Structure 1
């Protein structure tokens, strides 16, 4: 799957009531290569966005950010589309103007865990008939991704301390430092 096709699918999914279910159906109709290609693109973008500075920005937004939360945040960022993804990678402070109630999850957070498994879930449904975890499907996906050249790094060294964040991200700190996410959706 090329970048253009991937981002078109992401943009189309944003118009759907259940974006991840829609993606699963579309990818299933295109075959196993589409599922693997989608997974490759998601993992590549996750790797590209695995940045200490972006983790610091997410930390400011939510007054803390665990490993898993950072993954879900980056899933959310990918789901916002190519333009927003690239803008945020180039300037994390763009999040201060971009984040609104309309683009957060139901709890008021910038998180999307489901997008991270769409490719694998699609391949699982295609091979087993359901979405339940299957070790053989995971191994097949892993093999296919390695053949495509995916190399994942799981180590990051943070180049910030919590007390440095207000100065490092002044716009984010002004908006979220004293009032971090989740947004109180009842007040908005």
Structure 2
């Protein structure tokens, strides 16, 4: 699976599922479970490349401001959510985290009490693998999946150098002034 094919699949999953983000993971899981094992692991690889690429200080700053704080785990879920938004949103955010303001606004306007995080997106390839091979015992499926996944090279995260500090609001304003102006006093 190429990166282009990956983004096309994400786009299709968003078009096919308008109710909520969990339907998006169901769509992706169902689709991938009908593909070859190679395609499932290739999806994982493409996802992990983008996941590592988005491990940046400016994005973490935007997530921190918008959510009123952002732990390591919350940033993981934020990046999974960001990928699930599609190529255009992802690439725009990589260039300028302030591009997320209208995306955040739409999320908030939907009124479902949602926030920009999507932990379940991280498990799509695993769920597809388990469904494909119809494992009755989830832990058995997990063991088989991770045994095979271990044979693939790991995508390393870049070393992150923070250019903002939690207790220095001016440093956050410099990184994402629009996100700060809109969400600092009223986070998700």
TM bin, normalised by shorter chain, reads: 0.7 to 0.9
Asked if the contact 1:166–1:177 (Cα under 8 Å) also holds between the matched residues in 2, the reply is: no
Cα distance, 1:128 vs structure 2: 4.9
Partner Cα distance (1:102, 1:55) in 2? 18
Q: Decide which moves more: 164-173 or 44-53.
A: 164-173
Cα separation, partners in 2 of 1:173 and 1:122, compared to 1, 3 Å: same
Residue aligned with 2:113, SS? coil
TM-score of the pair, normalised by structure 2 = 0.85
Cα distance, 1:124 vs structure 2: 2.6
Asked if the contact 2:74–2:117 (Cα under 8 Å) also holds between the matched residues in 1, the reply is: yes
Say whether residues 1:115 and 2:102 are aligned partners: no
Asked if the contact 1:63–1:180 (Cα under 8 Å) also holds between the matched residues in 2, the reply is: yes
Say whether residues 1:9 and 2:9 are aligned partners: yes
TM-score of the pair, normalised by structure 1 = 0.85
Q: How does 1:34-183 map to 2 (within 5 A)?
A: 34-102=39-107, 106-130=112-136, 132-133=138-139, 134-143=142-151, 145-146=152-153, 150-153=154-157, 155-162=159-166, 163=168, 164-181=171-188
Asked if the contact 2:34–2:132 (Cα under 8 Å) also holds between the matched residues in 1, the reply is: no
Asked if the contact 1:69–1:111 (Cα under 8 Å) also holds between the matched residues in 2, the reply is: yes
User: What do residues 13-42 of structure 1 show as CA deviations (whole Å, max 9, x unaligned)?
Assistant: 112241111111111111211110111111
Cα distance, 1:95 vs structure 2: 1.1
Partner Cα distance (2:137, 2:31) in 1? 15
Asked if the contact 2:57–2:163 (Cα under 8 Å) also holds between the matched residues in 1, the reply is: yes
Give the count of matched residue pairs: 177
Cα distance, 1:105 vs structure 2: 9.0
Partner Cα distance (1:131, 1:100) in 2? 41
Asked if the contact 2:63–2:69 (Cα under 8 Å) also holds between the matched residues in 1, the reply is: yes
Asked if the contact 2:77–2:117 (Cα under 8 Å) also holds between the matched residues in 1, the reply is: yes
RMSD, aligned α-carbons: 2.1
| Structure 2 gap segments, 5+ residues each | none
Asked if the contact 2:78–2:118 (Cα under 8 Å) also holds between the matched residues in 1, the reply is: yes
Aligned to 1:186: none
